[in-house]
Amino acid sequence: MFDKNNLRGIDLLLLFLISALTFIGIVMIGSAHHWVLDQEHFYLDPLMKRQILGYVIGMFVILFILLLNYDALKLIIVPAYFGVLFLLVIVLFIGVGSEAEGDDVRRWIQLPAGFTIQPSEFAKIALILIMAWFLNIYQDRVNHILILLVLAGILGVPLFLIYKEPDLSTSIVVVSIGFFLLFNAKLKWRWIIPIVIVGVLVVFLVYRDAMSETPRILGKYQVLRIRAWQDPEAYQLEDAYQTIKSTAAIGSGGLTGVGLFQNSGTVPVATTDFIFCIIGEELGFIGAISVIGLQLLIFVRILFIGRQAKDLFGQLVCTGVAVSFIIQSAIHIGVCTGTLPNTGIPLPFVSYGMSSLISSMIGIGLVLKINAESKLDF
Amino acid sequence: MKKFLSSIRSLFGDRPLWTVIVVGMAFVILIRNLYTMQILNTQEYEERIYEDQAEEYEVLGVRGNIYDCYGRELAVNVTSYSLYYKPDTVNPELNDTLLSLMDVLAQSGEELAIRDVLPIDYNANSGFFYTDRFANPNGTARLNFLAEIFGTKRADLTEEQKRTTAEQAYQQMRDETFSIDESLPLETVLRLEEVRYALFQYRWTPEEPVLIAENISDRTQAVVLEQSDKYKGFYVETVYSRTYPQGEIFAHIVGYTGHINEAELEAYAEKGYTETDRIGKTGLEASFEDTLRGKNGTVKVTYSGRTGERLSEQTISEATRGQDLILTIDADFQRECYNILYQHLKLLLLDKITGTSEDNNKAYSADDIVAALLLNGFFDTSLIQESTLPDARRYTEAFNQEADTALQTIVDTLIHSDTLIADYSDEMIDYFSLVISYLRENDYLSTDYRNDEERVYVRYVSGLTTAYEFLEYCYNGGYFKLEEFGLDPFSTAEEGLPVILQTTVEALRHNRQYEQMVFTNVLRKDLFNMRDFILLCYDLGFLSNEDGSREMFSNDEIDLLNLLRMKIRQDEITPGDINLDPSSGSMIVTDCDTGKVRAIVSYPSYDTNQFLNSYEYYEKVTSDRSSPMLFRALQETRAPGSTFKMCTSSAGLELGYIDLNTFVYDNYAYENVNSVAKPTCWSKISHGSVNVIGALEVSCNYFFYDVGYRLCDPAPDGSFNDNVGLEKLKYYALTLGLGTKTGIELPEAEPLISTQDAVRSAIGQGSHGYTVANINRYTNTIANGGDVCDLYLVDHIQNSDGTVTYRKDTTPVSKADVTEEHLDIIKEGMRLVNTETSKDDLEILDIMGMKTAGKTGTAEESYLHPEHAWYTGYTNFDDPEVSITIVIPYGNGSDKCLPIFKDLVEAYYMLEEPEMEEE
């Protein structure tokens, strides 16, 4: 199952890029958590420590994946999928919510020593794997209605469980992953176009309904968020509070930012859902663009690796990981800038959250593996 | 070209490329927005970072006031400060903070508002003990408490924990639950435990503030505010509370306001009440809550984020000022009336304190009075137990012994004795009643046992069973809550009753009523000398020695009987304190034509100001067995006796059963009844032949029995159905405004028109029950010639600027279905009552030129007590002005009311308009 030869041909560039991003994240987390860089009495902020721990664990996981044989990798896909489904089910019963939202929302499973695990993060990886695998096998019949229905099922079950938590933002990411995987598996335009049209229509109708007098589709919180997004002034003390504070923070960063560790402390939930605001505030436009640039580089690099993959499976895994990563970033930045209604989503590699970091690194591990594999053949 | 086209095509098909393009477009939008925010509009955002904090504040509304008819204050606002605490505050030094706070409060003579919460208590005599329902070791109350202090669930309590004694509970709370310093004195620790325990109860709603103290002084407030870090979590709220300048004179009418409780908060949620609001609880304060209430308003203040200065203020909702009530009553006259009633009650009582005890409360000995004062808490048994005086200790020792032996006697008697309850000694009856009330009050015994179909119960009511028979009946009928005693539902009475009784008597050992009974019995059995007891009362401060009475008594210059009489005459001991018949009374004075209330008095009463400010006083009033809080004038229904005869007369005259020429010969005992016993006239000497006027004048029962009989349309053989007559009496009671509520603005009891025994009902016995207000209203109807008016207290309601928003419409609500001619006949009878029969008492009025008319009434209710004394009358006969109705329950004879009527009429006519006081 393992072979140390598998360690050859690792794409160090990608490894470097994500490590850089993680490092930036750790520093920003410290800043957001009011950490002080005191040279005399040096200490590390607890959140930073955990993030570093997550990174180290992630690196071990990457190592593990790389050492695994390619074929062995494929063997664990189906068990992993069902394992994740199991976790998604039990989180609905014994899960806990965040401090802000309480136990109406159940996204985490409590582990000993105060750690938590977020099943939906790992669900994304499992989904990418199983859909890529499935599409690889049936790639010739990808346009067949039966195949599409099975795929809908494979995607739909975890999607439904995630939506029930409720975790709308992750659901959206999962849907996007599914869509782009199909898209890259060469699903014919005659399917793609209707799906896109229906998607746009649904979004439009939901938006209309939420803004109307009697919203019926979405839950109360989500309706409030959409309304607050459209009219921040009216909701300034409640639901638009976060958006107003976060956009103000970014805007006040100007071109070069207020300086590292100089953030005003007015951004709520700054270590997780709004960490891009800290970047925008402290590092300014230049810093923000740089980080975006870094992310786009990672994105493109992964897709490039995918292009060179030896089979459709490898290509689709890379596509899935890339899309998952970049869509999340886009949504996160969209929320921070007020471009999108408020929804809690972490910025991959940057936001505090061990589940998110580790699962992102699993994704990178897979990509690196696929890359190494493709190099072996030449 | 083809190559170009095909390369376009392959571009189209390059799915990854499209993916990058879509993502790219999304980021273009995001970058554009960033550019706008960070480059173009950065200034704006910079300012926004420090932007406005908006906070909402409550602005207090002002409650409307209540005034008498001349504008004198009856209920007015006073600003006071209440101290609150937020239970979710984190304070590891909470005990120290509380100790300092209690000190601060003590320095200003203030008290904590938290009282009576702790399930355990301590006194020097009994040590630690569980209180009330916590006394039951198997009860859910006790187990829940233990679970709380041991930090576990009720189901997880160990056997050892379940057996925790009160002292152990005290220690557990001190050492574990609340970590209180051991070295503090016991009283202090106990007090701290109480406060901590009270706060602990709020753990499910930690954001809700807890009231710590009310009416705190400026000094206390300053201390708390200045040392806000020491008193973390404490804050002061300005509230408008009330003061009642006329105190007990208007206590029942005006009522009082208090803090809103959970149930009220739920019921009134839509009206915008918050947890710290005050709300009217009784009286007009409650029934006119909506009118009086000043709604709180909200103001939104915006502060600059950067500089912190106040930028703007926006009123979100206006605070309102409630409306004022102007009553129909003249406070001076009301005060006169109250005093007249009180003085007469006092005299009546003094008349009965003859020194010899007579059955059925007809006369009292000195010992009776002392026992009554003990039982009603005037001589406080807790203070006796806590005192260190040698005599007090001796007395307490005797009490301890007696208390313990009596408990065993009780259990023995209840289980083993063959004596019927009717033959029990007074002492045993009292104990037995106490056992039963304890079981009922704590829901251990359901009142469903009161089933008239069950023979055992019926016999029990007449005292014809043994205690055991009755208890067994309850046990087998499933009326006991067996789980509370740890008993199996399938256990037998033989197994279970001893358990229940043993648990009950143990709980009763520290029950206040039981203690009072035993202390009384100790005196009665001469286990402690009465003389020593009286001297002890002086030493404990129960009796005042300002009049030098202690020396007079110890020198034998005055005996106990006369000492007590002296104290009563001096108003040091009141009829309410003694609570022996007669200890209460009520009266009402209204305008005959309109029903406007001039005075309405209920004795005993209480001082609402003290009630709200002193916990000691509050406890005394709420545990006083003479029920000072009951508004008897409107809430106590009694059999009316002969005052009902005007109604019977109306029925007889209107329906043609009698007329002016109908004469009946008074034969003393009336035969035509459906009962075995024959009712008699009150006078053993026949009244001779009387018509309706004569019958009213002398109040001849026989005449009216006959009318009652005739109303039943008896058959030729003399048999009749009571209901026929009762229906007719009911009709006239209703049409005259007697059998319906008076419409007054306060809660009234529903009048009861008799449904039994037409013949006796005709003279006001049977099952009639009316308040003094009901009788008064129907007196008005008769006096004014047939207009039935509602009685009313509120003359008008006005805004703070004086605009009148409501004035009582005094149009009569209906016209009685009795002709004026017939009413005149009845009135003539009533006139003669005052000028002839009651000549001795009322002649003086006639001489002074006041022509009055009225009717006396003596109603029997229970053979264990004297009869009720009623009187209703009006003045002026030729042009009726006001009617006056008085009742003294168990007053023993209507003639007792006559002097009161006389004094009241005099007072009414001597009224002067007061000098208008400046507002």
Which residues in chain B have their CB less than 8 angstroms from residue A338's CB?
33
Measured distance CA(A12)–CA(A16) in Å, rounded: 6
Ordered DSSP codes for B137-181? TTSHHHHHHHHHHHTS-GGG--HHHHT--HHHHHHHIIIIIS---
- DSSP secondary structure code for residue A209 in this structure: H
Contacts of B553 (CB under 8 A, 6+ apart): B534, B535, B560, B563
**Which of B23, B25, B39 has the most A C-beta neighbours within 10 Å, making it the best mutation to test the interface with A?**
B23
B15 CB near a chain A CB, below 8 Å? yes
Which residues in chain B have their CB less than 8 angstroms from residue A319's CB?
16, 19
What pLDDT score does B510 carry? Answer: 84
Residue B317, strand partner residues: B298
- Smallest Cβ–Cβ distance between B48 and the set A248, A254, A339 belongs to A248
Amino acid sitting at position B217 = S
Other C-beta atoms within 10 Å of B321: how many? 16
Domain identity same for B276 and B412: no
What pLDDT score does A102 carry? Answer: 54
Which single residue is written with the structure tokens 């009630």? B611
Under an 8 A CB cutoff, do A247 and B49 touch? Answer: no
A357 CB near a chain B CB, below 8 Å? no
Least confident of B126-130, B401-405, B560-564: B126-130
A169 CB near a chain B CB, below 8 Å? no
How far is the alpha carbon of B298 from chain A, nearest alpha carbon, in Å?
Answer: 16
Which residues in chain B have their CB less than 8 angstroms from residue A334's CB?
30
Residues within 8 A of A (CB atoms), B 473-492 only = none
A277 CB near a chain B CB, below 8 Å? no
Length reported for chain A: 378
Measured distance CA(B299)–CA(B762) in Å, rounded: 65
Residue of B nearest to A316 (CA): B16
Domain identity same for B125 and B140: yes
Which residues in chain A have their CB less than 8 angstroms from residue B37's CB?
247, 250-251, 280, 337
A39 in a structural domain? no
Measured distance CA(B752)–CA(B861) in Å, rounded: 14
B861 in a structural domain? yes
Q: Is the pLDDT of residue B664 over 50?
A: yes
Identify whether the C-beta of residue B190 lies closer than 8 Å to the C-beta of residue B92: no
Q: What is the pLDDT of residues A285-309, one digit of tens each?
A: 999 999 999 999 999 999 999 988 8
- Measured in whole angstroms, how far is the alpha carbon of residue B190 from the centre of its chain? 30
B500 in a structural domain? yes
- Domain hosting residue A260, numbered range: 4-33+45-376
Other C-beta atoms within 10 Å of B880: how many? 21
Under an 8 A CB cutoff, do B39 and A186 touch? Answer: no
Under an 8 A CB cutoff, do B38 and A183 touch? Answer: no
Identify whether the C-beta of residue A317 lies closer than 8 Å to the C-beta of residue A370: yes
Which residues in chain A have their CB less than 8 angstroms from residue B29's CB?
339
Domain identity same for B560 and B697: no
Which residues in chain A have their CB less than 8 angstroms from residue B9's CB?
none
Under an 8 A CB cutoff, do A252 and B35 touch? Answer: no
Domain identity same for B29 and B56: no
B354 in a structural domain? no
Residue B55 belongs to a domain with what CATH number?
3.90.1310.10
**Which of A172, A242, A285 has the most B C-beta neighbours within 10 Å, making it the best mutation to test the interface with B?**
A285
B37 CB near a chain A CB, below 8 Å? yes
Measured distance CA(B869)–CA(B640) in Å, rounded: 9
| Burial annotation B411-430 (CB, 10 A radius, 16+ → b, else e) | bebbbebeebbeebeebbeb
Q: What is the mean pLDDT of chain B?
A: 87
A258 CB near a chain B CB, below 8 Å? no
CA angle B80, B85, B88 (to 5 degrees): 160
User: Of B545, B578, B611, which one is at a domain's C-terminal end?
Assistant: B578
A15 CB near a chain B CB, below 8 Å? no
User: Of B578, B605, B620, which one is at a domain's C-terminal end?
Assistant: B578
A200 CB near a chain B CB, below 8 Å? no
φ, ψ dihedrals at B25, nearest 5°: -60, -40
How far is the alpha carbon of B153 from chain A, nearest alpha carbon, in Å?
Answer: 22
Under an 8 A CB cutoff, do B31 and A289 touch? Answer: yes
Report the number of distinct structural domains present in chain A. Answer: 1
Residue B919 pLDDT class (50, 70, 90 cuts): very low
CA angle B784, B787, B790 (to 5 degrees): 105
A111 CB near a chain B CB, below 8 Å? no
| Burial annotation A42-55 (CB, 10 A radius, 16+ → b, else e) | eeebebbebbbebb
B556 in a structural domain? yes
Report the number of distinct structural domains present in chain B. Answer: 5
Reference B732, options B860, B858, B825, B644; nearest CA is B644
Domain identity same for B81 and B145: no
CA distances in angstroms from A376 to A26, A69, B195, listed in the order given? 34, 12, 76
3-state secondary structure of B784: coil
A314 CB near a chain B CB, below 8 Å? no
Q: What is the mean pLDDT of residues B428-440?
A: 89
Under an 8 A CB cutoff, do B34 and A296 touch? Answer: no
Measured distance CA(B116)–CA(B96) in Å, rounded: 22
What pLDDT score does B917 carry? Answer: 44
A297 in a structural domain? yes
Domain identity same for B889 and B788: yes
- Domain hosting residue B522, numbered range: 366-578
Q: Is the pLDDT of residue B867 over 90?
A: no
What is chain B's alpha carbon radius of gyration, rounded to the nearest angstrom? 36
Q: Which residue would you say has higher pLDDT here, A266 or B439? A: B439
Other C-beta atoms within 10 Å of A364: how many? 26
Measured distance CA(B18)–CA(B16) in Å, rounded: 5
Measured distance CA(B668)–CA(B680) in Å, rounded: 5
> HSE-up of A182 (CA within 13 Å, CB side)?
27
Which single residue is written with the structure tokens 């908006």? B54
B17 CB near a chain A CB, below 8 Å? no
Under an 8 A CB cutoff, do B42 and A251 touch? Answer: yes
B40 CB near a chain A CB, below 8 Å? no
CA angle B201, B204, B205 (to 5 degrees): 100
B57 CB near a chain A CB, below 8 Å? no
B10 CB near a chain A CB, below 8 Å? no
Q: What is the pLDDT of residues B283-302, one digit of tens each?
A: 999 999 999 988 888 888 77
φ, ψ dihedrals at A336, nearest 5°: -60, -35
Least confident of A345-359, B411-425, B839-853: B839-853
CA angle B841, B763, B876 (to 5 degrees): 40
Reference B152, options A97, B160, B205, A112; nearest CA is B160
Domain identity same for B709 and B783: yes
Q: What is the pLDDT of residues B311-332, one digit of tens each?
A: 777 888 888 889 999 999 999 9
Domain identity same for B436 and B520: yes
A40 in a structural domain? no
Reference B736, options B634, B658, B822; nearest CA is B822
Residue of A nearest to B41 (CA): A251
Which single residue is written with the structure tokens 């067994």? B472
CA distances in angstroms from A258 to A263, B532, B881, listed in the order given? 7, 88, 89
Domain identity same for B78 and B97: no
What pLDDT score does B601 carry? Answer: 95
Contacts of B93 (CB under 8 A, 6+ apart): none
What is chain A's alpha carbon radius of gyration, rounded to the nearest angstrom? 21
Measured distance CA(B407)–CA(B68) in Å, rounded: 53
Which single residue is written with the structure tokens 């009180």? B342
What pLDDT score does A103 carry? Answer: 56
Domain identity same for B476 and B541: yes
A266 in a structural domain? yes
H-helix or E-strand spanning residue B589: strand B585-591
Which residues in chain A have their CB less than 8 angstroms from residue B15's CB?
183-184, 186
Residue B697 belongs to a domain with what CATH number?
3.40.710.10
Instruction: Spell out, as residue ranges, where chain A has pLDDT lower than 70.
Output: 1-8, 38-41, 98-104, 233-239, 377-378
Reference B180, options B294, B102, B70, B254; nearest CA is B102
Residue B672 pLDDT class (50, 70, 90 cuts): confident
Which residues in chain A have their CB less than 8 angstroms from residue B35's CB?
285
A251 CB near a chain B CB, below 8 Å? yes
Q: What is the pLDDT of residues A126-166, one digit of tens each?
A: 999 999 988 888 888 778 888 888 888 889 999 998 888 87
Measured distance CA(A225)–CA(A228) in Å, rounded: 5
Residues within 8 A of B (CB atoms), A 224-243 only = 236-237
B806 CB near a chain A CB, below 8 Å? no
Q: Which residue would you say has higher pLDDT here, B914 or B656? A: B656
How far is the alpha carbon of B32 from chain A, nearest alpha carbon, in Å?
Answer: 11
Tokens representing B200 are 């602990």
Measured distance CA(B708)–CA(B904) in Å, rounded: 34
Measured distance CA(B281)–CA(B257) in Å, rounded: 5
Q: What is the mean pLDDT of residues B92-112?
A: 85
Amino acid sitting at position B850 = M
**Which span out of A72-81, B57-66, B486-495, B719-728 was modeled with the highest average pLDDT?**
B719-728
Q: Is the peptide bond before A341 cis (omega within 30 degrees of 0)?
A: no
Q: Which residue would you say has higher pLDDT here, B816 or B115? A: B816
Identify whether the C-beta of residue A280 lies closer than 8 Å to the C-beta of residue A254: no
B161 in a structural domain? yes
Domain identity same for B298 and B165: no
Identify whether the C-beta of residue B648 lies closer than 8 Å to the C-beta of residue B762: yes
Residue B597, strand partner residues: B590
Which residues in chain A have their CB less than 8 angstroms from residue B49's CB?
245, 248-249, 252, 264, 266
B583 in a structural domain? no
> HSE-up of B607 (CA within 13 Å, CB side)?
10
Residues within 8 A of A (CB atoms), B 595-614 only = none
Domain identity same for B316 and B195: no
B42 CB near a chain A CB, below 8 Å? yes
Identify whether the C-beta of residue A131 lies closer than 8 Å to the C-beta of residue A124: no
Reference B692, options B566, B818, B606; nearest CA is B818
Identify whether the C-beta of residue B275 lies closer than 8 Å to the C-beta of residue B208: yes
Under an 8 A CB cutoff, do A251 and B30 touch? Answer: no
